[in-house]
Amino acid sequence: MPESPLPPGSTIGILGGGQLGRMLAVAASQLGLRSHIYSDEAATPAFDVAAARTVGSYADMDALTRFAGTVDVVTCEFENVPAETLEAAARVVPVFPPVRSFAVAQDRLIEKDFLTSLGVQVAPYAPVDTLEDLRAALARIKPPVLLKTRRFGYDGKGQISIRAADDAAAALEAIGQVPALLEGLVRFEREVSVIVVRGQDGELQFYDAVENVHENGILAISRAPARISLSAGVAAKTIAGKIAEALSHVGVLCVEMFERTGERPELIVNEIAPRVHNSGHWTLDACLVSQFENHVRAICGWPLGDTARHSDALMTNLIGADAEKWRALASEAGTSVHLYGKTEARPGRKMGHVTRLFPKS
Amino acid sequence: MPESPLPPGSTIGILGGGQLGRMLAVAASQLGLRSHIYSDEAATPAFDVAAARTVGSYADMDALTRFAGTVDVVTCEFENVPAETLEAAARVVPVFPPVRSFAVAQDRLIEKDFLTSLGVQVAPYAPVDTLEDLRAALARIKPPVLLKTRRFGYDGKGQISIRAADDAAAALEAIGQVPALLEGLVRFEREVSVIVVRGQDGELQFYDAVENVHENGILAISRAPARISLSAGVAAKTIAGKIAEALSHVGVLCVEMFERTGERPELIVNEIAPRVHNSGHWTLDACLVSQFENHVRAICGWPLGDTARHSDALMTNLIGADAEKWRALASEAGTSVHLYGKTEARPGRKMGHVTRLFPKS
For chain B, say whether A47 makes contact (Cβ under 8 Å). yes
- End position of a domain, from candidates B57, B78, B95: B95
Range of the domain at B146: 124-184
* Cα torsion through A39, A41, A45, A46, rounded to 10: 20
Are A339 and B308 within 8 A, CB to CB? no
Q: How many domains is chain A partitioned into structurally?
A: 3
pLDDT of residue B15: 98
A/B interface, count of CB pairs below 8 Å? 124
pLDDT of residue A217: 86
pLDDT of residue A154: 63
Specify if A105 maps to a domain: no
Q: Is the same domain home to B285 and B208?
A: yes
Specify if B116 maps to a domain: no
Are B26 and A31 within 8 A, CB to CB? no
Q: What is the CATH number of the domain that holds B164?
A: 3.30.1490.20
Kindly state the DSSP code that residue A324 receives in the 8-state scheme.
Answer: G
Q: Is the same domain home to A287 and A346?
A: yes
pLDDT tens for each residue of B201-234? 999 999 999 999 999 889 999 999 999 999 999 9
Q: Is the same domain home to B246 and B324?
A: yes
Are A29 and B29 within 8 A, CB to CB? no
Strands (E) across chain A are located at: 11-15, 34-39, 52-55, 73-76, 125-128, 145-149, 159-162, 180-184, 190-198, 204-206, 210-215, 218-224, 251-260, 266-273, 311-319, 335-339, 350-359
Are A306 and B335 within 8 A, CB to CB? yes
Q: Which residues contact B100 (CB under 8 A, 6 or more apart)?
A: B247, B248
Q: Is the same domain home to A349 and A205?
A: yes
Specify if A330 maps to a domain: yes
pLDDT confidence band for B97 (50 / 70 / 90)? very high
Residue B188 has pLDDT above 50, yes or no: yes
Specify if A347 maps to a domain: yes
Q: What is the CATH number of the domain that holds B225?
A: 3.30.470.20
Residue type, position B108, single letter: R
Q: Is the same domain home to A155 and A262?
A: no
Among candidates B178, B176, B152, B174, which has minimal Cα distance to B161? Answer: B174
Cα-based distances in Å from A302 to A41, B322, B328, B332, B349: 31, 18, 10, 12, 24
Which of B29, B288, B341 lies closest to A48 in CB terms?
A: B29
Task: Report yes or no for ipTM above 0.90.
Answer: yes
Residue B2 has pLDDT above 60, yes or no: no
Among candidates B64, B71, B10, B7, which has minimal Cα distance to B39? Answer: B64
Distance from CA of B307 to the nearest CA of A (A): 9
- End position of a domain, from candidates B95, B115, B134: B95
Distance from CA of B297 to the nearest CA of A (A): 9
Averaged over B129-142, what is the pLDDT?
95
Q: Is the same domain home to A247 and A274?
A: yes
d(CA B243, CA B53): 33
Residues B125 and B185: beta-carbon distance below 8 Å: no
- Residue A121, burial from CB neighbour count under 10 angstroms (0-12, 13-18, 19+): middle
pLDDT of residue A1: 41
Q: Is the same domain home to B129 and B88?
A: no
pLDDT confidence band for B156 (50 / 70 / 90)? low
d(CA B82, CA B100): 12
| H or E stretch at B336 | strand B335-339
Q: What is the CATH number of the domain that holds B63?
A: 3.40.50.20
- End position of a domain, from candidates B184, B211, B233: B184
Q: What is the pTM of this model?
A: 0.96
Are B341 and A26 within 8 A, CB to CB? no
For residue A190, the cross-strand partners are A259
Residue B273 has pLDDT above 60, yes or no: yes
Backbone angles phi, psi at A245, to 5 degrees: -70, -45
For chain A, say whether B144 makes contact (Cβ under 8 Å). no
Per the document, the length of chain B is 361
Backbone angles phi, psi at B168, to 5 degrees: -55, -55
For chain A, say whether B52 makes contact (Cβ under 8 Å). no
pLDDT tens for each residue of B317-340? 999 999 999 999 999 999 999 999
Q: Is the same domain home to B174 and B222?
A: no
Distance from CA of B178 to the nearest CA of A (A): 38
Specify if B111 maps to a domain: no
Residues A336 and A285: beta-carbon distance below 8 Å: yes
pLDDT averaged over every residue in chain B: 95
Specify if A117 maps to a domain: no
Q: Is the same domain home to B177 and B197?
A: no
Chain A residues closer than 8 Å to B22 by CB: 29
Specify if A161 maps to a domain: yes
Chain B residues closer than 8 Å to A31 by CB: 330, 337-339
Is the CA virtual torsion B169, B175, B176, B181 positive or negative? negative
For chain A, say whether B313 makes contact (Cβ under 8 Å). no
Q: Is the same domain home to B90 and B174?
A: no
Are B339 and A34 within 8 A, CB to CB? no
Chain A residues closer than 8 Å to B303 by CB: 327, 330-331
pLDDT of residue A156: 65
Q: Is the same domain home to B73 and B35?
A: yes
Distance from CA of A204 to the nearest CA of B (A): 13
Residue type, position A85, single letter: T
Residues B247 and B115: beta-carbon distance below 8 Å: no
Q: What is the pLDDT along chain A (361 residues), one digit of tens a residue?
A: 446 899 999 999 999 999 999 999 999 999 999 999 999 999 999 999 999 999 999 999 999 999 999 999 999 999 999 999 999 999 999 999 999 999 999 999 999 999 999 999 999 999 999 999 999 999 999 999 999 999 976 666 789 999 999 999 999 999 999 999 999 999 999 999 999 999 999 999 999 999 999 998 899 999 999 999 999 999 999 999 999 999 999 999 999 999 998 777 799 999 999 999 999 999 999 999 999 999 999 999 999 999 999 999 999 999 999 999 999 999 999 999 999 999 889 999 999 999 999 999 8
Q: Is the same domain home to B91 and B211?
A: no
Specify if A111 maps to a domain: no
pLDDT confidence band for B296 (50 / 70 / 90)? very high
| H or E stretch at A299 | helix A291-299
For chain B, say whether A354 makes contact (Cβ under 8 Å). no
